[in-house]
Amino acid sequence: MKSRKAELLVGVFVLLAIAAGLMLALKVANQTMSGKGETYVLKAKFDNIGGLKVRSAVKVGGVTVGRVDSITLSSNDFTPIVSMSIAKKYDKFPETSSVSILTSGLLGEQYIGLQPGFSMDGIKDLADGDFVEDTKSALVLEDLIGQFLFSKK
């Protein structure tokens, strides 16, 4: 009788812990995006990536569609290349799309904003491994302040 109740409550306890683990995995650490086969890769060259990091979000109009996979430096012209994995279900971005590095809030996280371009006949969709040509670099606060002081003189 008594041990039945204890076993039941231990079961409930384990279920609670599993629920907590699932919540941390799915809602907090977001494991779903890293799965294989559900994503494709887009690349972009920036002059300056500012504070962008691996696993930073890629957003379209505020909706996260992917993450930054890796950030490398191109060996011939020394510009950073960012490769992003984008969810397969968003695979219809036209070639004319542009990406820019944005900041949430004044000092918040940096993320990549993807701006879908116009699409018309003769313009293909971006496919796995393609480069997004139209990029806007991160706003670097020091540069901005420098420009501001310089133009004052």
Partner 1 sequence: MLDWIAGIGAANIAKVRSFGRATLMLFGAVIAKPQLVKNVPLTIKQIYVVGVQSLLIIVVSGLFIGMVMALQGYTILVGYGAEGSLGPMVALSLLRELGPVVTALLFAGRAGSALTAEIGLMKATEQLSSLEMMAIDPLRRIIAPRLWAGMISMPMLTLIFSAVGILGGHLVGVDWLGVDSGSYWSIMQSTVEWNKDVMNGIIKSLVFAFVIVWIATYKGYDSVPTSEGISKATTQTVVLSSLAVLGLDFVLTALMFGIE
Determine the length of the chain: 153
- Asked whether 70 and 83 are in contact (CB, 8 A), the reply is yes
Q: Single out the segment in contact with partner 1 by CB under 8 A; choices: 54-62, 69-77, 83-91, 135-143.
A: 54-62
The reply to whether 21 sits near partner 1 by the rule CB under 8 A is yes
CA angle, residues 68, 73, 75, in degrees to nearest 5: 145
Binding-site member from 1, 107, 120, 149 for partner 1 (CB under 8 A): 107
Binding-site member from 1, 23, 35, 123 for partner 1 (CB under 8 A): 23
The reply to whether 141 sits near partner 1 by the rule CB under 8 A is no
Partners of residue 40 on adjacent β-strands: 86
Binding-site member from 48, 74, 104, 147 for partner 1 (CB under 8 A): 104
Q: At its nearest, how many Å lie between partner 1 and the CB of residue 16?
A: 6
Residues 6 or more apart whose Cβ sits within 8 Å of residue 56: 67, 68, 109, 110, 111, 112
The reply to whether 105 sits near partner 1 by the rule CB under 8 A is yes
Q: At its nearest, how many Å lie between partner 1 and the CB of residue 118?
A: 27
Residues 6 or more apart whose Cβ sits within 8 Å of residue 153: none
CA angle, residues 23, 27, 37, in degrees to nearest 5: 110
- Residues contacting partner 1: total by CB under 8 A: 34
Nearer to partner 1, 6 or 149 (CB): 6
Phi, psi of 102 (to 5 degrees): -120, 165
Which residues sit at the interface with partner 1, rule CB under 8 A? Answer: 3, 6-7, 9-10, 12-14, 16-17, 19-21, 23-25, 27-31, 55-57, 62, 64, 67, 104-109, 111
